[in-house]
Chain A
Amino acid sequence: MSIDVVGLEKKFGDVTVVCGIDVHVPNGKMLVLLGPSGCGKTTTMRCIAGLDTPSRGRIEIAGNVVYDAADGTNVPVERRHVGMVFQSYAIWPHLTVFQNVAFPLEIQRVGKTETAERVHDMLTLVGLGDYSSRGASQLSGGQMQRVALARSLINKPAVLLLDEPLSNLDARLRDYLRVQLREIQMQLAITAVYVTHDQHEALALADEIVVLRAGTILQRGEPIDLYGHPCSSAVAEFLGYSNIFTATVTARDGALADVTFETGKESVRGALVAPPGDAVVAACVRPNDVRIAALADAAAALPPNTFAAEITLASFEGSHIHYQARCTSGIVWDVICADVSGALRVGSTASIHVAPESVLLLPQDQA
């Protein structure tokens, strides 16, 4: 069961929220729509579900056209046969867990015995086998989330839609349910679209990630590929490249280039991704690619791609230390150091080194 979205556009009044995007989700795969709030990811999903009517474009689910602006096709939401997990869970408070999960079967007029059997199996699958007679208001957030998942899967939908399903849970539960969600999705081999603003969730869950901003697709790709090769500074920022500096290209050397930061003081060699025509680029470095070490003599000459900086923050976070270090020019480096034994002190001087291959010189997006 695949999903095909072609040229989808959605306007609310005069505001265009989704400006002509194309998405293809192959059978059994999970596509993640990643982007900041207001980027159009939830609207795209609601258009697929049929909760919002697009302004233009075509949507196919499992080969059936459910919306086509060209010929006016618009299958109502209740006949699209999709499963959906809402951000607010949307567990009906006047019904029990069993009644919540059984509701879609009841609408389809499935017999009592079969319903009981299928609901039981589904609740067991999501790990809530013993909860069927509980009232919905007696559940914790994580349990509600699993009831919502069971309800969305019970009538074997063609596709599963998940709208930030984990965002209202605490961090530990989120990690646990993320794994469970991916397991269930792969086990049932169900085609899924997942909306989130959290890059960890996106990277962990997706077969393919689509990064959205202001209603347009910035980049798409498999998680590992996307993480290693963001195509622009906006995507890089979204994927956790927390060191992003505007810089001017001064020299080119094949795939590498030398650039000077806006401050005019720091020069660095990096991997040139931006097209050769761009004189101004964004130098992007992940915090865990920055090497940091104590610097005894601040006056000594430093090797290339290395800077002296004063430690302004050292925050021990268990598996790593999070540093911030400021150069005399004013730029601040964000550093994650896996070595927690030789902690540097706030106020001390350190050397910052970035390998040329970890500095991505990307085209700069207009904010």
Chain B
Amino acid sequence: MNKPARFAVPAALYLILAALVIVPLVMIAAASVMSAPPFSGTPFHWTLDNYRQLWSAEIGYAALDTLIVSVGGTVIALTIGAALAWLAARTDIPGRPLVYLAGITPLFISVLVASTAWSALASGRTGYFNLLLTSIGIPWHVNVESLTGIALLFGLYYAPYPFIFMYGALSLIHPDMEEAAAIAGAPIVTILRRITFPLVKPALLGSMLLVFALMIEDFPMPQILGGPAGIETLSVAVYNLMTRVPTQQNAAGALSVLLMALICSFVLLQRRLLAGTDYRTVTGKGMQYRQTPLGVLRWPALALVLGYALLAIGAPTFALLEGAFRTNVYIPNVAALFAPAGISTAPIVAALTDPDVLAGVVNSVVAGAGAAIAGSILFFILAYVVHRTNLPGRKQLEYLAMLPLAVPALVLGIGILWTWVAAPIPVYGTLTILSIAYLTRFFPQGYRAVASSISQIHEDLENAARVAGASRLQTIRRITLPLVRGGVVSSAFIMLVLSIRELTASLFLYTTTTRTLAIVIYEKYITGSWAAVASISLIFTASLALITLAGRRWLQARI
């Protein structure tokens, strides 16, 4: 590569990544030591008062609440995830593919939708679930609008992460390793303790830290379920400081910095724990797994799995159907839940013809597609530079690309707001700013998909083309691109799905003309129209499921 290009390409990538990732973080950090919000026009001075202001009972309780729901949620998620993974990967449980499905499907239900559905299911006396309890004579009500409730639902909906990690780890352990231990005379318990457990330990610890960090920064669930009960986690506190009049945006900035430091330390810890513990032992040969016979426990085990699926998938789906296909808002008892009289398509028709919803669909798809298309081009160039050239500074580029993993979505949204609100390019208030937010937030996920497929291609495949007389650009076009096409398409697809689901980072970036579908659901929930929330959520979830199903082959498309 000639000299100017050697610097121009990485310089351009640095500029883009800096604008996407670094500037928003700098804005937050700056706001946290200013006396007025950035670019607000108000004269300001530098101060540490914003941090001092955080030293309050309110924030103290928020920290405590965050800790309680996150620790509780992590314990539940890990227990469910690890148990399902072991059952699906290593036992003779009936219907193993079904167990696998139960393990990953909750991932496709957005936390926003799950929260609204559960608040209809199990809060107050008229929650559907509580009606059921009353009808069978149990004078006791489940209330998810509580710390315990939030922790439980965190556990239910974050269980797929440990499941995926553990399932991967368990199915990648070559059975020869365990058989070698058996031949050496070790009994099954010793094999589990000395061979299997150490091999899956990195996955267990890694997923533990990951879900813990995700729960700390989660916004929709504590906001929707905690709001009515007056529970405030740290991310909800950031949101409230930003939005409650009189706003304290600089205090929100200071709290954001603290929250980010917290998440950052967990992500670093996780990366450190997982570094050098790549125990993959794939040989490409067909592996015959030894299955642990469950004996008489086979059916009870399956019942537990189905119970989880019922709670995580079945119950909220039922709640959404109730809300979307019933005209009577007040449901006094269980009989009314199933009474054919109230069944109507009116709410769902109303939702489908609501101009806000239609605009939301278009906005979601356009903003998501923008992020997906821009992203896949950018990811390919970046991955090529990192993995296939010796250009200066390419390793640091990759660190920058992974940085958004350590930034809470809410914080990122605020940072992007402050970055673009005064920018000379008029993107604030357009769908472009949402695309930018999605691109930044899901940069690590999208980049990884492309990078891993590039790094799987043997460099000799490209060298062979060069030797055959093809230039670098010809080689990229004829060899590299066709070979990574699967990775690029699946990256674009991941970006699209994640973007359409996104709520938290968009909260500070939308205007009345750029509401996405997730925003529409959230607003309808805030204004209290459950029928609309349920109808739109149902459409939202069904479309996401359809897109995912349709894109399954892209997600697996790998040469």
Which residues of A approach B to under 8 Å, CB–CB?
49-51, 76-84, 86-90, 92-94, 103-104, 107-108, 148, 151-152, 155, 161
Contacts and interface: CB of A to CB of B under 8 A. Distances in A.
B258 to A, nearest CB: 41
B47 interface: no
Contact of B464 (A76, A80, A90): A90
A151 B482 contact: no
A37 B470 CA distance: 30
A87 B463 CA distance: 12
A10 to B, nearest CB: 14
Contacts of A86: 460, 463-464
B474 A90 contact: no
23 contacts: A50-B466, A50-B467, A76-B471, A78-B466, A78-B467, A81-B469, A84-B463, A84-B464, A86-B460, A86-B464, A87-B460, A92-B465, A92-B479, A93-B483, A94-B482, A103-B468, A103-B470, A104-B469, A148-B464, A151-B464, A151-B468, A155-B468, A155-B469
B469 A49 contact: no
A77 B474 CA distance: 13
Nearest to A108: B469
B559 interface: yes
B468 A107 contact: yes
Given A78-B471, A107-B474, A90 B460 contact: yes
Interface of B: 458, 460-461, 463-471, 474, 478-479, 482-483, 559
B464 A107 contact: no
B468 A104 contact: yes
Contacts of B471: 76, 78
A78 B470 contact: yes
B466 A92 contact: no
A136 to B, nearest CB: 10
Given A104-B469, A107-B469, A51 B463 contact: yes
A94 to B, nearest CB: 5
A82 B463 CA distance: 12
Nearest to B465: A103
B483 A88 contact: no
A185 B215 CA distance: 66
Given A90-B460, A92-B461, A92-B479, A84 B469 contact: no
Contacts of A84: 463-464, 467
A103 B461 CA distance: 12
Nearest to A103: B468
A107 B559 contact: no
A88 B464 CA distance: 10
Closest 7 CB pairs of A and B: A104-B468, A90-B460, A90-B464, A86-B460, A84-B467, A107-B469, A77-B466
B92 to A, nearest CB: 34
Contacts of A88: 458, 460
B483 A94 contact: yes
Contacts of A77: 463, 466-467
Contacts of A94: 482-483, 559
Nearest to B482: A94
Contacts of B461: 90, 92
Given A90-B461, A104-B468, 18 more contacts: A49-B463, A50-B467, A76-B466, A77-B467, A78-B466, A78-B467, A79-B469, A83-B467, A86-B460, A86-B464, A87-B460, A89-B460, A90-B460, A92-B461, A92-B465, A92-B483, A94-B483, A155-B468
Contacts of B483: 92-94
Nearest to A83: B467
Contacts of A90: 458, 460-461, 463-464
B482 A82 contact: no
B469 A78 contact: yes
Nearest to B468: A104
B482 to A, nearest CB: 5
B240 to A, nearest CB: 53
Nearest to B458: A88
B467 A107 contact: no
Nearest to B462: A90
Contacts of B482: 94
B559 A49 contact: no
B469 A51 contact: no
Nearest to A89: B460
B461 to A, nearest CB: 5
Contacts of A78: 466-471
B483 to A, nearest CB: 6
| Residue of A83, A103, A148 with most partner-chain B CB within 10 A | A103
Contacts of A81: 469
Contacts of B460: 86-90
| Residue of A77, A84, A89 with most partner-chain B CB within 10 A | A77
Contact of A93 (B469, B478, B559): B559
B138 to A, nearest CB: 61
Contacts of A89: 460
A94 B557 CA distance: 13
B467 A49 contact: yes
B474 to A, nearest CB: 7
A317 to B, nearest CB: 29
B506 to A, nearest CB: 38
Nearest to B479: A92
Contacts of A82: 467
A103 B483 CA distance: 15
A51 B458 CA distance: 14
| Residue of A79, A92, A108, A152 with most partner-chain B CB within 10 A | A92
Contacts of A152: 467
Given A51-B463, A90-B464, A151-B464, A107 B479 contact: no
Contacts of B464: 84, 86, 90, 92, 148, 151
A78 B467 CA distance: 5
A59 B471 CA distance: 21
A365 B317 CA distance: 77
| Residue of A49, A80, A94, A108 with most partner-chain B CB within 10 A | A94
A95 to B, nearest CB: 8
Contacts of B468: 78, 103-104, 107, 151, 155
A55 B471 CA distance: 23
Contacts of B463: 49, 51, 77, 84, 86, 90
A12 to B, nearest CB: 11
